Chains A and B, each alone.
Chain A
């Protein structure tokens, strides 16, 4: 007998988790979904963001979300720089597929090893007032350490959605994804735009990392669990669609939560890969895909 109590808590936990997953995937939705750059190191950057939140939080007591917002511009520049290297080495010569993949795999590995060298395998966490608290409506719990990240993630998604649809740069990014030549004829530089987009994608990882370490403790190899989730969400949502990505993230969160509650937590990483597999097999364009 599945109690209504357990069931509704699992659903709510899933939705909150899903919101956080949107923050994880949104950068990849831009970089991979629209620009087709296979940044497999995307979750590794999120872990870096988490560690930065940990450092500044334990040192200065700053709120992790604030740290994430402050770190975002720095991450933006790092992202732009990495794209420059990627473009010069791979995109310009048309070598993207194998070499580009291996490049980001190497970057991911370097990030993980450096973190291990500096911080070891111990779990790190942050302190904030709201982390221990929880709201209760009826028999459903809303732990703040999940609710706050959900709110931030939703705001981030909305902000980026508006950016993509209302600003010149945002629409240029969508344009360069669909038709480079037309963009060039209009006088815009595709490389600069892609650089902007990649930087934006990495900037989101600063915030996602802060959210991650609010939700739970972090150690260097945690990032690998998110590779499957991030790609699954982007593909399921439909490669170019921010809206689709958010919905896919919620779906994944809910399904993972249900599986975790009723079948056991060790099965939840498998859920994402299962979704990815099913989507690719049945409907490769995803829910809202443009292709």
Chain B
């Protein structure tokens, strides 16, 4: 996608969001869009470590939850405005990401994946035992009064998440076509060959885990205001982790647009099923879609499109 077209589309989407807030009043839509955008942000973040660098993270929910719980903790101590909370959530997520990268330096493949699962369980256990943020019983968050010029708080949250997601997409695209991104791709394709081609694999892996962690922390930071009740079960939900993996894999992991496509496809399907069939069944959807797509189209939708173009040539 050419740069001008890319920025044009992003600006159009952002403008479209603003227009939407003036036209549509029904809060359901903003709830639904918020969740889809949150999933997109998580998918884009996951793909930086998973798709670009080739390291599979099964514990995405932990980073997300750290962002959410940073908000809960800070909100109790000081009354901070949302932008600062988002920065704090990102910082904490990034720190956890850095820690993960540092501790798992030598692990590869499945062992790394299991380590991420372990880390998620350990972090969840600590949070569940921390009374200050509500422990296992959870914590209530009051919806703030101020929502700028928007009609309601959820409209503002929607625009905030839209902005955050678009930013993440920009970062992802820049990474994809940068020297750093090529280094990550080399690590993904053959780590030993990358190292002997001069790629500082340990350092780049740390960058990758930190950026992913920061993005996921940012995704989680507004969550407490969205749900108003936060507890370990909802924040550390496996559903979030599965979505974060399934969406990029369904969309296509090699390209920055893959997770976006996957998130839009899966997220929209989930919302439709939630409303038309049942809300429990919608959780099953992502698992089935993941297995079906992975089996039939391992390169994702982007892969299918690329194959189609090649056949035409």
Contact = CB atoms under 8 A, between A and B. Distances in A.
Interface string A93-123: 1010111011101110110111011000000
20 contacts: A40-B113, A98-B50, A99-B294, A103-B294, A106-B242, A106-B246, A106-B294, A107-B287, A110-B287, A113-B280, A113-B284, A114-B284, A117-B280, A117-B284, A224-B117, A224-B121, A231-B110, A270-B125, A276-B114, A276-B115
A227 B298 contact: no
Interface string B268-301: 0000000000001101101110110011101000
B117 A227 contact: yes
Contacts of A101: 56, 109-110, 113
Given A106-B288, A224-B121, A276-B115, 16 more contacts: A89-B298, A90-B298, A101-B56, A102-B249, A103-B294, A105-B290, A106-B294, A107-B287, A107-B291, A117-B284, A228-B114, A231-B114, A269-B121, A273-B122, A277-B115, A280-B106
Contact of B54 (A89, A98, A102): A98
B287 A106 contact: yes
Given A266-B125, A280-B111, A102 B287 contact: no
A102 B242 CA distance: 9
Nearest to A266: B125
Q: Nearest 10 A-B pairs (CB), nearest first? A: A106-B290, A273-B118, A106-B291, A110-B287, A109-B287, A89-B295, A38-B110, A99-B298, A113-B284, A109-B242
Interface string B112-131: 01110110011001000100
A252 B311 CA distance: 54
A138 B215 CA distance: 58
Chain A's interface size range is 35 or more
Contacts of B281: 117
B245 interface: yes
Nearest to A89: B295
Contacts of B246: 102, 106
Contacts of B286: 109
Nearest to B103: A277
A235 B115 CA distance: 14
A97 B245 CA distance: 14
Interface in A206-260: 221, 224-225, 227-228, 231, 235
Interface in B188-231: none
A227 B114 contact: yes
A270 B122 contact: yes
Contacts of B291: 103, 106-107, 110
A102 B245 contact: yes
A107 B291 CA distance: 7
A268 to B, nearest CB: 11
Contacts of A106: 242, 246, 287-288, 290-291, 294
A47 to B, nearest CB: 14
Contacts of B238: 109, 112, 221, 224
A102 B115 contact: no
B98 interface: no
Nearest to B117: A227
B110 A103 contact: no
